Amino acid sequence: MKSVNRRDFLKLTGSGLIGMTIGGVALRANAQERVDPASQQAAALKYVEKSPVEGSYCDNCMYIAGEDGADWRPCAIFPGKVVAAKGWCSAWMKKP
Ligand code: SF4
């Protein structure tokens, strides 16, 4: 069995920590990507960052997720992206 000296151990754990950090930053950045209103799916659903319909906003839609009060939140209709809390799209359904 090969023993691992202190230098090798630090190299291994250091590279592991760097890899985990980079992976975490990548996941966080991906989770925070905003829906582009000009994208094909958003345009098809008429998504806008400021609702034209009084009383209907992303933050009171049944498809919204994430924390109440946040300006940008995940939406089940746009997986992996966030929408404006004050936005709207034609898939809007009142939160029960
Ligand atoms: S489905 Fe539409 S209205 Fe509802 S949270 Fe998502 S983008 Fe906003």
Domain boundaries, the chain: 1-31, 34-96
Residue 31 has pLDDT above 60, yes or no: no
Helix (H, G, I), strand (E, B) or coil at 40: helix
Q: What is the pLDDT of residue 21?
A: 43
**Length reported for the chain:** 96
Give, using CA atoms, the residue closest to atom 5 of ligand 1: 58
Q: In the structure, what pLDDT confidence band is assigned to residue 32 with cuts at 50, 70 and 90?
A: confident
- Give distance in angstroms: CA of 46 to centre of ligand 1: 10
Q: Is the CB of 84 under 6 A from ligand 1?
A: no
Q: Does domain 34-96 have CATH number 3.30.70.330?
A: no
Higher pLDDT: 24 or 95? It is 95
* pTM recorded for the entire structure: 0.71
Residue-wise DSSP of 41-91: HHHHTT-BSS-SSTT--GGGBTTB-S-TT-SEEEETTEEEEEEETT-B-TT
Q: What is the pLDDT of residue 19?
A: 42
Q: In the structure, what pLDDT confidence band is assigned to residue 65 with cuts at 50, 70 and 90?
A: very high
Those residues with Cβ within 8 angstroms of residue 39's Cβ, 6 or more apart along the chain or in another chain:
none
Cβ contact 37:45 at 8 Å: no
